[in-house]
Chains A and B, each alone.
Chain A
Amino acid sequence: MTAAWRRLGRSPWLFAGPAVAAAVAFVWLPMVATFGLSFIDWSMLRQEATWRGITHYSGTLANPDFHLALGNTAIYLAALLPLQIGVPLALAFALVRVRAGLPGRIYRTALFAPSVLSFPIAAVVWLWMFNPTVGVLNTLLGHVGFAPQRWLTDPDLAIWGVIAVAFWKSFGFNLLIFLAALANVPADVTEAARIDGAGPFRQAIDIELPLISPALFFAIVTTVIIVLDEIVGAVDVLTEGGPFRMSSNLLYFLYERGFRHFQFGEAAAVAVLIAAMVAAVTWAQFRFGERHVHYD
C-alpha cells in the first residue's frame, strides 16, 4: 500500500462501502446464484437441489421454442434498430432547422410523450386500436377498401404489431438524445461549412453526424439493450408471446420458463445464455462501432 493510500485511512472504504455492498448483494451474488442454479433442479419449497450438469443448457439449445424466440429476437432487433435510430435521427436533423416557436415545442413534446408512458398503459391504448372488430386501424383500412386484419392474433402479423408499439413508445427517447447532441454542435463549424457552400444535407452528413457520433453510439448501444430487454413488457401485454410463440422473444421465453412453468433451473440456464449473447453483442458494438466515434 502506498503512503498516499495510507494517509487516506478508512475513508475510501467508508464512502465506497455501501455502494459495493449493494452491488455485491443485489447484482453479483444473484448473478453467481443464477449461474449455479442453471446446473441444478431446485425445489424452492423443499429446499432440495438435484445436480443436472449441463442438461438445462443442452435442453434449452435443443428446444424449438427457444429457436423461435431467438429468431424473433433477431427480427425485433433487425426491425427496431434501424427504426429507432434512423427515424429519430432524421427527425432531429429536421427539427433543429425549424424555428417554430411554441407550436414547435409542443410538437417536440408530443413526439417525446409516448416515452414517458409505461408499456402496460401504452399497450392498453394500442389494444383498442388493434381490435379487429372495433379498432381504429381496421376502421381506417375499411374506408380505403382493405379487408380487416387480425393484428395481434394472425401469426404473420403479431410480431409486427408489437414492433409498431415498441417503436412508437421508445423512439422519442432517442429523438431527445439527438436533439440535445445537435444543439451542442458549435455554430461556427456549421456556419463555416455553409460559407464554403455545403448544403443542409452535406452539413448534416459530413459535419453534424461525426460531431454527434458519441450520442449516436450511446443511442445504438442503449437501443439494442432496450430491444433485447424492455420489449418484453409489450410482448406480455399485447400478445403474451402468441399466437403459438410467434411474437415471443428470448426474455419472454425466460419469463415463461421461470414464472409460468416454475422451471427455475431451466430459466437460469436461459438467463445465462441471454447474458452471454448480450455481452457478445455489446462487445462487438464497442469493438467495431467505437472506432467510428469522434470524442473530440
Chain B
Amino acid sequence: MSHALTRRNFSLAAAALAAPALLSRAALGSDAKIDLVHLFSGADHPIQKVIRAFNEKNTGVIVVSRQDGTTYEAITQKAMSSIAAGRGPALMTTGWKLGDFAKRTLGAKDFREIFGVDRTAALLGQFRPRIRPLAEIGGVPIGLPWSMSTPVLYINQTLWTAAGLDPAAEPKTVEELYPMARQLQDKTGKQGLCYEVNEWLPQAFIQNAGGNVIDANGRAVMDSPAAIKGIEAFVQPRRDGLWRVMTISEMLAAFQAGAIGVMASSSARQSGVRQAASFDLRLAQMPGLAGHNRRMNSGGNFLAVYSGNKEQQEAAYRFMQFIASREGFEIWLGTGYLNVTTNDIPVRPGNEAANAQLEGGLTSETIWPGARGLEALTVHIDWITKIVNGTVSVADGLRGSRDAVEKLTAA
C-alpha cells in the first residue's frame, strides 16, 4: 500500500514529529537533566559509577557526566563560556585553590540562597563538622566538600626491605625520613626520595614548621622565619643528592617503574599508582618536622552549583543528597579520596594512612585571593621551582614570592 505525498500528508507527518518537542517536559513526565562537569577520565572511574547508581534510582533527575578537561583551569575556562551564555553547569567540580575565583568571578551559588538555610544545614550536616568550613568562602557555603585528599608517602616496600629497613617503620618527621631514604639509595642504587614541585606539598612543610602561605586575613606570609625553615627542610634532600627533581608525571612514571624508593604525593593518586605498580606498595602518613606540631593540609575539589535555573538547582540538590549518603560516598571512596562524611564506612585497604591524617586534622588548601589570585598561584610555584633548582636561596625565593604575590593579590 502506498500513500501519495500530498501537502496534507506532509503537514500531518511534520506535526506528528514536532509534537513531542512542543509538549512541555512536565506534560510528558520526563526527568530533569543536569550536567555534572568534572575532570576525571575513564569509563570505569568512580564518578561514572556514582552517576550510574543515582540515575538507576529513577528519582526524576538524570545526571549527565561531562568531562570538559583534565585540569581545573580547563574545565573552568569552558564553564565560563556556558555561564556567560546563561547555561552554566548545574554542578562542577571546583578545585579548592579556585574557591575565591569560583565565588567572585564564576558566581558559584550560595547554598543558603538557593536551597534555604535549613536544607543547606541538612545537606552539609552529613559532613564532619571540621570539614564543613573548608567549603565556605568568606563564610559563605558554596560547595559540597566531597573530594578531599592529603599528601602522603608512597613507599616501594620491595626496595625498602631490600635496603634492610624495618618493614613497619613509619617516619614521624622528615629528620627520621631522610636517613632512611639515604640508606635505601645507598643499598639499592635507586633514587631514595622524590617530592612534587608545586605549591601544595611545600604548603605542608611551611605549615608543619608553624608558618602559613596566606594568613587568615588574606596576606602573603610565605617568607616568615617558620616558612623559611619549612622550605629549608623541603629542599634538603635535593641538596643531599637524594632527590633528583622531575615533573609530577615523570615522578609517577619513575615510581611506578620501581626506580624511586619513596615519593610524596596526593592520597588521591593511590588507586592509579597501585594499579600500575608491580612491587609491594605501602602508604604512610606524611612526616612532620621535628619539634613542631603536625599541621597537614588537604586538597581536592568541592562540588559547586552554577546554574541560575531553579529546576536545575533543585535537581542538583537531590543528586548531592545521594552523594552525601552512605551509598553514594562508599562508591566515591574508590577514588582514594577521604571519607569526610559522618557516614560510618570502613576505611578501604591502603587508605589507612590518609585516613589517619584526616583524623589528626587537616587545614584547607591555600585559596588564592583576589581577581588575580590564579596568577599569584603561578608566580608562587615559579619561585618554589627556583628555590628547588637552587637558582635562589630559600629566604630570597620566598621573599620574591611574597613581593610578587602581594602585588597581584592587591590588584
Total number of A-B contacts with CB less than 8 angstroms? 86
* Cα–Cα distance between A133 and B243 once the two chains are bound (Å): 11
Interface residue A152 (Cβ < 8 Å from any Cβ of B): yes
**Nearest-CB distance from A13 to chain B (Å)?**
32
Which residue of A44, A130, A256 contacts B250 across the interface (Cβ within 8 Å)? A130
What B residues does A43 contact at CB under 8 A? 105
Which residue of B77, B106, B246, B386 contacts A133 across the interface (Cβ within 8 Å)? B246
* Cα–Cα distance between A47 and B107 once the two chains are bound (Å): 13
Which residue of B77, B250, B259, B375 contacts A263 across the interface (Cβ within 8 Å)? B375
Supply 12 further A-B pairs (C-beta < 8 A) apart from A153-B197, A261-B374: A44-B81, A45-B84, A131-B254, A132-B250, A133-B250, A133-B260, A152-B247, A153-B245, A243-B197, A244-B391, A259-B74, A261-B375
A residues 240-296 in Cβ contact with B at 8 Å: 242-245, 256, 259-263
A residues 152-189 in Cβ contact with B at 8 Å: 152-155
Residue among B107, B197, B375 with max Cβ neighbours from chain A (10 Å): B375
A residues 44-66 in Cβ contact with B at 8 Å: 44-45, 47
Given the known inter-chain contacts A150-B245, A153-B246, A155-B389, please indicate yes or no for A263 contacting B382, CB distance below 8 A: no
Which residue of A44, A130, A152, A243 contacts B385 across the interface (Cβ within 8 Å)? A243
Contact B386 A259 (CB under 8 A): no
Given the known inter-chain contacts A132-B250, A134-B259, A261-B372, please indicate yes or no for A45 contacting B105, CB distance below 8 A: yes
Contact B80 A45 (CB under 8 A): yes
Determine the residue in chain A with the shortest Cβ distance to B194: A133
What A residues does B84 contact at CB under 8 A? 44-45, 47
B residues 219-276 in Cβ contact with A at 8 Å: 244-247, 249-250, 253-254, 257, 259-260
* Cα–Cα distance between A128 and B197 once the two chains are bound (Å): 19
B residues 304-330 in Cβ contact with A at 8 Å: none
Which residue of B74, B250, B383 contacts A131 across the interface (Cβ within 8 Å)? B250
Determine the residue in chain A with the shortest Cβ distance to B382: A244
Determine the residue in chain A with the shortest Cβ distance to B71: A260
Contact A262 B259 (CB under 8 A): no
Contact A262 B77 (CB under 8 A): yes
Which residue of B83, B245, B246, B378 contacts A261 across the interface (Cβ within 8 Å)? B378
What B residues does A154 contact at CB under 8 A? 389
* Cα–Cα distance between A44 and B106 once the two chains are bound (Å): 9
B residues 279-299 in Cβ contact with A at 8 Å: none
* Cα–Cα distance between A204 and B393 once the two chains are bound (Å): 55
Which residue of B244, B260, B378, B382 contacts A260 across the interface (Cβ within 8 Å)? B378
Interface residue A71 (Cβ < 8 Å from any Cβ of B): no
**Nearest-CB distance from B257 to chain A (Å)?**
5
Interface residue B157 (Cβ < 8 Å from any Cβ of A): no
What B residues does A128 contact at CB under 8 A? 253
* Cα–Cα distance between A94 and B406 once the two chains are bound (Å): 59
B residues 158-211 in Cβ contact with A at 8 Å: 191, 197
* Cα–Cα distance between A242 and B74 once the two chains are bound (Å): 18
